[in-house]
Amino acid sequence: MEDGGMGQRELQREVIDTHLCTGCGACVGLCPYQTSYHDRIILLHPCDIKVGRCYMFCPRTPTNLETMRKSLCEEKDLTPEIGAVKGFYLTRATDEQIRKDAQHGGSVTTLMTLALREGIIDTAIIAEGKENFLHRGVAVNDPAEVKKRGKSKFIVSPTVAEFNRAAKGEAKKIGVVATPCQVLALAKMRLKPVPVDEGNIDKLKLVIGLFCGWALSWRGFMELLRKKTGLDAVVGMDIPPRRHTLEVYTKDGTIEFSMEEVNSCIREACHYCFDTTAEFADISVGSARLPGRWEETRIWNQVIVRTQRGDDLVQLARAGGLLEFREAPGEALDELKKSAMEKKRTALKSIAARSGSSPDLLYLDRFDPVVRMFQG
């Protein structure tokens, strides 16, 4: 996909040293020389391989998005703002307990547990919180284990590292729940830009992407949280629309942080992200944004179906009565596209400011038709 001659040395110089690293974990587990530590990627030992998978799979190294669109999506489904749209729905889990335990409508939990039960996948890679809010990817085979991990803490997890580990083992059919940068890394793997003997990426059978505007730096956010609560007291968090606050739910009640406070904790790499909706997933899921009270709309999801395998799974959930469907207001998809469009324009401005030159877009190709549309 890109010219050869790029490996760990270039990864360090272009991504890690410049704080463009998203912490996705794509470079971890491919060899013994990289690891994830406290939401950072650490290079343990220098590597002299000239064409490295660590560089090729990183979501912040040069990426031919147009090749990816043509290879992974149907052209008739493509939109410039949010990628392929084969279907757009508002859904929520029929099971009230799943809705209660999940971040919003529980659609991701429902779809991933269904994929496990039906044998579409035999292993699910999902994120889980560890001690002191540190996050990691974990491989589970039991649908009940998926249900235990439905909440979001807005901290990056090196989820792709767990995929790399699981794919080397006995798993045959793997599904991954991933953020946009993680989805991009997996998509780069699927294009097989470097020849390898292992067919590990062929084990990837399902990708459910999460809408994401940004992730928080673990260190910065921990310092912010400690001013108001103990870390072990936090049970969840969310960002209600139009309130400009982050709500942190604790055992003793709700604590609010202004977005001005939170903005200082956002990972620097997130300012250069071109994708809000995980465009190269099979299914992408985010919280619903509907007219009315937040308490009523927070238990619904916006769902974008992007591929045939994604559509098959959603329709299976519909036929089995596992997901409830609600008619989306006519403006809902337009609003989502508008939001994604603004994200792309803001990212391009931030990238140009970072590089010091409008033609130099770091990991993006300035001749890519979608990039040119929003930069222009």
Q: For residues 93 and 292, what is the distance between their CA atoms, to the nearest angstrom?
A: 20
Task: Give the residue among 352, 181, 156 at the shortest CA–CA distance from 265.
Answer: 156
Domain boundaries, the chain: 8-217+266-375, 218-263
Q: For residues 116 and 113, what is the distance between their CA atoms, to the nearest angstrom?
A: 5
Query: Which residue's structure tokens are 């009565």?
Result: 321
What pLDDT, on a 0 to 100 scale, did the predictor assign at position 229?
85
User: What is the mean pLDDT of each successive set of 10 residues along the chain, which is 376 residues long?
Assistant: 70 93 93 87 86 93 94 96 97 94 91 98 91 83 89 85 95 97 97 74 97 91 87 81 82 90 93 97 91 76 97 98 92 94 96 93 95 90
Task: Give the residue among 295, 124, 105 at the shortest CA–CA distance from 206.
Answer: 124
DSSP state, residue 135: E
> Architecture of 218-263 per CATH?
Roll (3.10)
List the structure tokens of 26.
């794509």
Report the 10 Å Cβ neighbour count for 140. Answer: 19
What pLDDT, on a 0 to 100 scale, did the predictor assign at position 2?
43
Burial class (CB in 10 A: 0-12, 13-18, 19+), 337: middle
What pLDDT, on a 0 to 100 scale, did the predictor assign at position 196?
63
Q: For residues 144 and 36, what is the distance between their CA atoms, to the nearest angstrom?
A: 27
pTM: 0.94
What pLDDT, on a 0 to 100 scale, did the predictor assign at position 1?
39
Q: For residues 304 and 175, what is the distance between their CA atoms, to the nearest angstrom?
A: 17
